[in-house]
A and B are shown apart, each in its own frame.
Chain A
Amino acid sequence: MIKRKAAVSIRECAACGCCMKICPKRAITIHKGIYANVNKDLCVGCGLCAKECPASIITLEVTEQ
């Protein structure tokens, strides 16, 4: 089945935590204060984080499962 999951451009991430705050599934954590990490098992691909991200560096990527 094709699913969409949030993917973060780690290099550009400022680790501000806006995505973590908005995620309704609490699928995002800030890894050691360096970048946002998406738990792909919890992510439902709603896209709220991508919309919220002030740097617009989160995209929804299609993954096969």
Chain B
Amino acid sequence: MKQKKKWYDFLWIVSLSYLILGFFNILFAWLGLLCFFIPLIIAIAGGNKAYCNKFCGRGQLFSLIGGRFGLSRKKDIPKWLKSAWFRYGFLIFFFVMFFMMLWNTYLVFAGTKDLNTAVTLLWTFRLPWRWAYHGTLFSDGVAQFAFGFYSVMLTSTVLGLFTMVLCKPRSWCVYCPMGTMTQLICKAKHVTSSRKK
């Protein structure tokens, strides 16, 4: 029995387009905030992980490339990768790096620092990305945030692709910071709602 495809089964096209658009104009990176706020809003308001379960385009992209196209060894992930300390530790690490990126953006907004037109891959490698910068109408900080945010998105995609090839297609979902965070929100919500009863 094959389940009929729904509209949201094609959201991988959106995820792929997002990555491609970043090669042409970095300001498109701002759209990535949707992937941050939608899962959080669903988890806070709805108390579920419908975003991961249905709408996550990145997860769909991994299952398409790794599953359908077979670019995955389909082996079990190492035990430490699914352990609680790694999942929560990675979430904290991601948060710290994210706030450092925001701080950097603030410094550019404040005029203390000049705009850096590079995308930082895996928090280490600075890739020159000037070709995707065509100026901004507002402050340089707007572009700095775009470069920073695109770095986060590209880094997580590269990590996800890496574990997709080595392990199972959607291995990224096991340690995805957004997934860990929304699950925590759901847990907290469930605890408070069951106390009320």
Contact = CB atoms under 8 A, between A and B. Distances in A.
B187 A16 contact: no
A32 B47 contact: yes
Given A32-B186, A33-B183, A55-B77, A18 B63 contact: yes
A33 B190 CA distance: 9
Given A15-B179, A16-B170, A54-B173, A33 B63 contact: no
A25 B183 CA distance: 25
Interface in B46-61: 47-50, 52-54, 59
A57 B82 CA distance: 9
A37 to B, nearest CB: 12
Nearest to A56: B76
Interface in A23-52: 24-26, 30, 32-34, 51-52
Nearest to B193: A32
B172 to A, nearest CB: 8
A60 interface: no
Contacts of B74: 51
A32 B175 CA distance: 19
A7 interface: no
Given A55-B82, A56-B77, A56-B168, A14 B174 contact: yes
Given A33-B183, A54-B170, A55-B77, A16 B52 contact: yes
A18 B49 CA distance: 12
Interface in B26-74: 43, 47-50, 52-54, 59, 63, 74
A32 B190 contact: yes
Contacts of B168: 52-54, 56
A55 B53 CA distance: 15
B191 to A, nearest CB: 10
A18 B185 CA distance: 20
A54 B54 contact: no
A44 to B, nearest CB: 11
A14 B53 contact: no
A33 B173 CA distance: 14
Please name the 6 residue pairs, one residue from A and one from B, whose CB atoms are nearest each other, closest first: A17-B53, A33-B186, A16-B173, A33-B49, A33-B48, A56-B76
Interface of A: 12, 14-18, 20-21, 24-26, 30, 32-34, 51-57
